[in-house]
Amino acid sequence: MREATEIRMVPQADAQRLKLDRDHALTLLREMLRIRRFEEKSAELYSAAKIRGFLHLYIGEEAVAVGGVRALNPDDAMVATYREHGHALVRGISTASIMAEMFGKQEGCSRGRGGSMHIFDTATRFYGGNAIVGGGLPIAVGLALAEKMQGTSRVTACFFGEGAVAEGEFHECMNLAALWKLPVVFFCENNLYAMGTALSRSESETDLTLKAASYEMPAWPVDGMDVIACEEAARRAVLSVRSGEGPCFVEFRTYRFRAHSMYDPQLYRTKQEVEEWKKRDPIATFQARAREAGLISAEDVDAIDHEISTEISRAVEFAEAGAWEPEQDLTRFVYSEKAHL
């Protein structure tokens, strides 16, 4: 049994399989940097009490969302966890709409009622954002079942953390998805610590692909710190699911550089361990590889950073200027007869 703190290396994907070119490289870098800068600004705003409630940052895991979401079509469905800002950004929900939601303003994608953990947007088929560990799994299976019953070619992607593997609904959903050959791809973001519990302390078998494989579905691990590997693995899984082969499971072995949430003192891991993982920062390593290959330049990086900084500043301004929902709407959407627009 592996120790949960072990850095498990998975061979990098062959960039030629994805035909990595300059435009592709710039897109991957831009999307990862957008997530990183958005999360850094969110932490700053949380400390200033502009963002309230809970806040779970995605810093360190950017390659998973960027690589995973790029494998999907615009009309595919997505379900995520409470650490979902990055997924929402890559999916196409506007930075301003997400930031306004974080501020609790009614201009937010969930009218300010969901906040950081409940980002939702029907236009992009982004069905949460779910504060319950494993709560998105049954939703994803339901969406996939609906697609199969309607005879569409759409796929549902479900992102969840390794902590959800210990929940009963994980096993129920794996079983049903396999039995019914549903068009759902399970993307497990294994960052080694479910809140503050090391994987080896909660799972007797720490190779999560073996658990999924026991339900007779294809399952494999990938280096979650390598955006090229993430995209290649995600495309392989989505292609299989879309072709009618039934569900797939991909374990992205990644790591979060920040605490579980802003309230977490991080007593369960050492600073040395975090620093070791930071040497594999998905943004820094990809940037170095792309520059070495002559696909991007230092000027490109500066330009992208400036563009993102401007975008986020405008999003904050939009959120600051947003309106609070009036008190008379307090019971709106609580009961079906009140759920009028």
pLDDT value at position 14? Answer: 39
16-20, 40-44, 73-77, 308-312: range with lowest mean pLDDT: 16-20
- In this structure, which amino acid lies at residue 19? K
Distance, CA of 249 to CA of 251 (rounded, Å): 7
Tokens read off for 303 = 């330009």
Crossing angle of helices 22-47/95-103, nearest 10°?
20
3-class DSSP state of 162: helix
pLDDT band at 333 (very low <50, low <70, confident <90, very high): confident
For the purposes of burial, counting CB atoms within 10 Å of the CB of 160, is it exposed (0-12), middle (13-18) or buried (19 or more)?
buried
Q: What number is the average pLDDT over the span 19-28?
A: 93
pLDDT value at position 329? Answer: 86
| Cβ-count burial 14-41 (b if 16+ within 10 Å, e if not) | ebeebebeeebbbebbbbbbbbbbbbeb
**Structural domains of the chain sorted by starting position, each given as residue range(s) with its CATH number in brackets:** 14-320 (3.40.50.970)
| Cβ-count burial 314-324 (b if 16+ within 10 Å, e if not) | ebbebbeebee
Q: What number is the average pLDDT over the span 65-87?
A: 97
pLDDT band at 12 (very low <50, low <70, confident <90, very high): very low
pLDDT value at position 19? Answer: 76
Calculate the CA 86 to chain-centre distance.
6
Distance, CA of 142 to CA of 173 (rounded, Å): 9
Distance, CA of 159 to CA of 137 (rounded, Å): 8
Residue the block writes with tokens 């550089």: 257
Residue the block writes with tokens 């301003």: 96
What's the pTM value of the predicted model, to 2 decimals? 0.91
Q: What number is the average pLDDT over the span 147-166?
A: 96
pLDDT at position 15 over 60? no
pLDDT at position 2 over 90? no
Crossing angle of helices 168-179/136-150, nearest 10°?
10
pLDDT at position 61 over 60? yes
pLDDT at position 6 over 50? no
pLDDT at position 203 over 50? yes
pLDDT value at position 340? Answer: 52
258 contact partners, CB below 8 Å, separation of at least 6: 39, 43, 57, 59, 60
Q: What number is the average pLDDT over the span 3-28?
A: 60
3-class DSSP state of 19: coil
pLDDT value at position 20? Answer: 86
Q: What number is the average pLDDT over the span 76-101?
A: 97
pLDDT at position 5 over 80? no
Q: What number is the average pLDDT over the span 29-46?
A: 97
CA atoms within 13 A on the CB side of 163: 17
pLDDT at position 238 over 90? yes
Q: What number is the average pLDDT over the span 193-201?
A: 91
Phi and psi for 185 in degrees, rounded to 5?
A: -115, 125
For the purposes of burial, counting CB atoms within 10 Å of the CB of 288, is it exposed (0-12), middle (13-18) or buried (19 or more)?
exposed
Distance, CA of 192 to CA of 272 (rounded, Å): 15
Residue the block writes with tokens 């590997």: 229
Calculate the average pLDDT of the chain.
92
pLDDT at position 338 over 80? no
pLDDT value at position 4? Answer: 36
Per DSSP, 160 falls in state: E
pLDDT value at position 18? Answer: 66
- Bridge partners of residue 253, in order along the sequence: 190, 223
pLDDT band at 273 (very low <50, low <70, confident <90, very high): very high
Q: Note the helical H segments in 15-61.
A: 22-47
Per DSSP, 12 falls in state: P
pLDDT value at position 248? Answer: 98
Q: What number is the average pLDDT over the span 132-137?
A: 95
For the purposes of burial, counting CB atoms within 10 Å of the CB of 202, is it exposed (0-12), middle (13-18) or buried (19 or more)?
middle
Q: What number is the average pLDDT over the span 334-341?
A: 60
pLDDT value at position 85? Answer: 96
CA atoms within 13 A on the CB side of 173: 28
pLDDT value at position 109? Answer: 95
Which H helix or E strand runs over 201?
Answer: helix 199-202
pLDDT band at 44 (very low <50, low <70, confident <90, very high): very high
- What are 275-331's pLDDT values in tens digits? 999 999 999 999 999 999 999 999 999 999 999 999 999 999 999 999 999 988 888
Which is nearest to 189 in space by CA: 66, 14, 64, 291? 64
